[in-house]
């Protein structure tokens, strides 16, 4: 399955720190979500909560420490206007750089109809926002929300 898009952000912190800031619910609440039911643990369903967007489940498909996180989203759970539910895969990849980490976030599985393209574009902006908030938090201790 081809990827609908990939966003990348260079973060001037070691891979282990960037990885932990994403899998740790306590740390994620400092820059991205307002609440999380648990850490990202392979095989678990985690509920992320935002004050303005409500609650959304993410299924943790795969976690390889400091390398990869794969999450599955239900398209209808993430966009209530959708008439059809199908799975969208979110892939976080961590590349060690000499002076930090390259974080890549990709999604695949969106349909190519108008609803699918809207969902893909909305989430692309959301993941870019998440990565910028992570960068500000982890490099400077700033919450951009």
User: Which domains, and CATH codes, for the chain?
Assistant: 3-139 (3.30.530.20)
Helix (H) / strand (E) element for 68: namely: strand 68-74
pLDDT at 104: 99
So what's the pLDDT on residue 74? 84
From first to last of its 145 residues, what are the pLDDT tens digits of the chain? 566 899 999 999 999 999 999 999 999 999 999 999 999 999 999 999 999 989 999 999 999 999 999 999 987 676 656 667 788 999 999 999 999 999 999 999 988 888 778 888 888 999 999 999 999 999 999 999 8
3-state per-residue secondary structure call for 87-112: EEEEEEEEEEECCEEEEEEEEECCCC
* Distance from the Cα of residue 50 to its chain's centroid: 14
pLDDT of residue 1: 54
What pLDDT shows up at residue 78? 64
Contact in structure between 92 and 6 (CB atoms under 8 Å): no
92/6 Cα distance (integer angstroms)? 10
Note the pLDDT of residue 84.
Answer: 73
């Amino acid at each position: 399955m081809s990827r609908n898009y990939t966003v990348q952000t260079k973060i001037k912190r070691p891979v282990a720190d960037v990885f932990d800031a994403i899998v740790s619910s306590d740390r994620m609440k400092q820059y991205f979500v307002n609440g999380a039911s648990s850490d990202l643990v392979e095989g678990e369903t985690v509920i992320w909560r935002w004050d303005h967007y409500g609650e959304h489940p993410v299924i943790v498909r795969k976690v390889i420490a400091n390398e990869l996180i794969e999450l599955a989203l239900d398209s209808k759970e993430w966009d209530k206007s959708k008439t059809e539910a199908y799975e969208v895969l979110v892939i976080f990849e961590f590349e060690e750089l000499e002076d930090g980490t390259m974080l890549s976030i990709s999604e695949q599985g969106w349909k190519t109809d108008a609803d699918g393209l809207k969902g893909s574009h909305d989430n692309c902006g959301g993941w870019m926002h998440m990565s910028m908030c992570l960068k500000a938090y982890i490099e400077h201790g700033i919450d951009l929300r």
